[in-house]
Structure 1
Amino acid sequence: GVVDIKYCRVRIRKIPSAKCECDTTEETVHHFLFDCPLYRRERWKMERRIGRDAKDLKYLLGTKEGMVETLLFVGDTGRLHRQFGDVHLSIPMDD
């Protein structure tokens, strides 16, 4: 499957441009998670919860704790709601 990030959709020729809505650069996974000014508040919330690990892609996508934080971030942004629905509902909170 393809994540509804513009860079991915351009690569499979679903849309003509990967330009992010923030109009600063292409919307890549890295830009979405770490740089896009549109999600500054949501990113700040994640950084408050997990500190410097919020800037570590290997942590965010390669550990259970990081994946939970990534899902919280994605849910807070609402950016992928059309593709995945409310991801908050799929986050395992017990352990």
Structure 2
Amino acid sequence: HLHRFQKVDSPTCPCCNMANETVFHYLFQCTAHRHARDRLRSQVGRRNMATKYLFTSRSLLTPLFEFINASRRLHHIFGTI
């Protein structure tokens, strides 16, 4: 996803080098962010672990931002969110 916006040179996830980095991969698949994702899931509940809920429910934004900060994946672009 960052590659599409020319923020990184390669579409491959630099954290796991196993797949193209998409929003879906970052949030739900990347093995490098497993622990942060587990914390997110425990905060929001398994049912809410879908982009349609994570991106639209105000009550889920704080846990989502905590995941983003814990992963440190976007820190070099945005700093602490």
Query: TM-score, normalising length from structure 2?
Result: 0.84
Query: TM-score, normalising length from structure 1?
Result: 0.73
Q: In angstroms, what is the RMSD of aligned CA positions?
A: 1.7
Flag the structure with higher helix content.
1
- How many positions carry a matched residue from both structures? 80
In the other structure, the counterpart of 2:11 is 18
**CA deviation digits over 1:39-92, x for unaligned, max 9?**
0000011111121145211111011112222111001111111111111xxxxx
Unaligned runs of 5+ in 1: 1-6, 88-95
What amino acid is the match of 1:48?
Answer: S
Higher-Rg member (1/2): 1
The CA distance in 2 between the partners of 1:70 and 1:55, in whole Å, is 10
Q: Which runs of 4+ in 1 moved over 6 A?
A: none
Identity of aligned residues (%): 31
Unaligned runs of 5+ in 2: none
Is 1:49 matched with 2:52?
A: no
